[in-house]
Structure 1
């Protein structure tokens, strides 16, 4: 081991207790990938072939599985229930209950039952002023403000329409600077056809190209004036029905020879 004069601090190199990842160039035992053998703890990303296993040999069952003489059935128990004469038992005396305190005759007031039994007129009483009510600060008559009876803002009575005349402002008025007043072009004219009846309009569009000799134009034979039925009456026309199928048997009549 080298001398301690070349080291700074108390740390000294030592052998690690277990494998350190920094000592290996590859991950090594750092990653624990699941195996590919068996059915438990297997890599789920890999394809798994069907597996079969042999059953284990079960232990030999005990031939004597009855409880034996563990249960003792009384002799008076039959398949129809308990057999025998009725039996009674004497239980112990219960504890003495607490003393019941019933009200005595002096606790009732029969003189107050007249209001509940007989008809009595209403009775009123005047109680004394409590001390707690003297400290309350009630509002005085001047606290309330009645609505006005004059002017346009009267909420109780009807008022006629009122008008006011205000003075002309000297700053920014039209007689100071004529440029501040709007000109005729400042107003947008409304289309009269919005509130009036609009007459029909027609327009003629220009031809985009000059047709040449290569253009496909219909000839005189393309028109069929004899088939025009929009401008003149059409004569009645008839058609024959469909030809019957050759598989249909013909109609045969009995003809005397």
Structure 2
């Protein structure tokens, strides 16, 4: 065989053949780049495939909320049918409403176009000689003199700080102690401060009498009020006899020997 093809170059034993599987270089599409929907779970399941039932580990509720309607909660009027209100006449006790009045539109004479210039163009100031209305004279508003501001001078200021004020008046001697020294305060006019206020307080004793507890003021029986010799509960007692009971006058007497 080498002798037959000695003039051709040796290219090896490999020759082109049909590929066994798809090769990405032979196709212009991206290939299996986009994944198909999954067949497991509930999220993004393939809608074209059958989905098997799934069970959860949740607890069973006491009452299933199968009915979500409000029930007979709303009261439907009896005159409402499936086709709307019934055609029976309804009467009320209200009065008949008045007919609405016709709207009377203003005519051409109601407008004054000649007076519209002041609203569109600039107008000069106009003054009138009309008298003062009576309403102004009735309103009695206070003038500037009706208000009084607080003083700012002297010791009786309200809004500002007052500086110390001094007077040039002398001390009057009429009626003072300069004329009569008896008017001067004596030692009894001053109150002496108790030493216990600013120093240690000593013990204090009182001279009051001894107090007794209040007792009972009722009269008690003395020794002569008792009779021990008449006590028969603790010693033997001699028999005592009585003269019988007093019978009633209406009882018949007992007759033993009746005459024959």
Max Rg structure = 2
- Short-chain TM bin: under 0.3
Q: Give the TM-score normalised by the residue count of structure 2.
A: 0.27
Q: Give the TM-score normalised by the residue count of structure 1.
A: 0.27
